[in-house]
Structure 1
Amino acid sequence: MNRAKIQDYIDQRVEERRGTFRSRMVDDTHLEINKHVYEIVFDKNNAFNLDSFTDRFSMILSKYNYIVGDWGYGQLRLRGFYDKDNPLFKPDQGVDTIQDYLYEECNFGCNYFILHNLEVNIPKQGRRKRYRRPEIKEKKRKIAEPSLRRRHNQEVRRVRHNKKPHFVIKKRGNQS
């Protein structure tokens, strides 16, 4: 696949996503996406662009307390971080790790912005119905052998070997 094909595919995906979310600026520091309010906490070199953010936005980002957007090679990348009060909090995705993310994952000196989600939507943790394998019940069958008294072609003898009794079952025709 050459670069032109890849770029065409990217452009096609951008056009498909365009218009999915409705956004507007409420004031200089607040914005609204589908009636969900965000606050701009930090904006380095006017990195925040409402149209680009709306095109890249996904509903999965609404569960995070903070969203960091950084620009690299003309592409906007979004990543979410949790506050310590959020029940979905994980230490590697906490607010304390935003600076580490900017230093390690982003391009050096890139423009970025940080948004604070004022209305966090925590997904419901429903119980998933798990497929349970049916239990395998083994039926115990009795062996279809006649009782010892009804066995006409066998003979049972008690033999002593080293002062311990043993039982030997032999066919009647092969007695020794």
Structure 2
Amino acid sequence: MGLHHVGLRVADLDRATGFYRQLGAEVLAPPLALGGRGAALAMAASPEIRVRIVLLAFPDGTGVELFEFGGPTRPDWLEQPHADARLPHLGIQVDDVDAALDRAERAGGARLWPKPSHWGPVRVVYLHDPDRNVVELLDGPLSAVAAVAGGNGGD
């Protein structure tokens, strides 16, 4: 078994969907709108909460689930500000870090590093998605990252 999906909150579901599609994700089904009791149970919030959800999948079968909140009330936990830290983050393996970074920036992302770097043989860069969720782009598998973890693999 393995990673199924990561859930992220976003301000604009359509914009965020476009961003992750630029990184290789495909929409699995049209966005789902929840309100009333169903949204309250799912989001641990009042029944006035409204949420739109979309699930996207990457070619390897892992996914990202995006949540856009609306309605007259919002969950208290939603008001927590995004930190400028690099954790938590969503790591996405891409074929070409520079090309993926270019597409991500054109789709509203903002790099957190001046340029991609190396962790051993893997090129890597961190960026914000349009909602300031942290995304890491890598061009190698997790096993290659782990292989250099015992030494000083970064530059």
- Normalising TM by the smaller chain, what interval? under 0.3
TM-score (normalised: structure 1): 0.21
Specify the structure having the higher radius of gyration (Cα): 1
Larger RCO (CA within 8 A; separation ≥ 6): 2
TM-score (normalised: structure 2): 0.23
